[in-house]
Amino acid sequence: MNAIISASELASELAGENPPVLLDVRWQLTVAKAAGEPPFDGRTAYRAGHIPGAVYVDLDRELASAPGSRGRHPLPDLAEFGAAMRRAGVSSSVPVVVYDGGQGWAAARAWWLLCWTGHPDVRVLDGGLPAWQGSLETSVPTAAEGDFEPTPGATGLLDADGAAALARSGVLLDARAGERYRGEVEPIDPVGGHIPGAVSAPTNDNVGADGRFLPAEELGARFKALGASEGTEVGVYCGSGVSAAHQVLALAVAGIPAALYVGSWSEWSSDPTRPVAVGPDPQ
Helices (H), 88-207: 105-116, 160-169, 178-181
User: pLDDT value at position 231?
Assistant: 87
**For residues 248 and 250, what is the distance between their CA atoms, to the nearest angstrom?**
5
Q: Which of 20, 43, 27 is nearest to 90 (CA)?
A: 20
Phi-psi bin for 183: left (phi > 0), alpha (psi -120 to 50), beta? left
In this structure, which amino acid lies at residue 110? A
Question: Which residues are identified as catalytic?
Answer: 238
Beta strands per DSSP E along 92-153: 96-99, 122-125
Q: Which of 230, 211, 221 is nearest to 108 (CA)?
A: 211
The proportion of the chain whose per-residue pLDDT surpasses 90, expressed as a percent, equals: 90
User: pLDDT value at position 36?
Assistant: 61
**For residues 119 and 94, what is the distance between their CA atoms, to the nearest angstrom?**
9
Low-confidence ranges of the chain (pLDDT < 50): 32
H or E element: which one contains 22?
strand 21-24
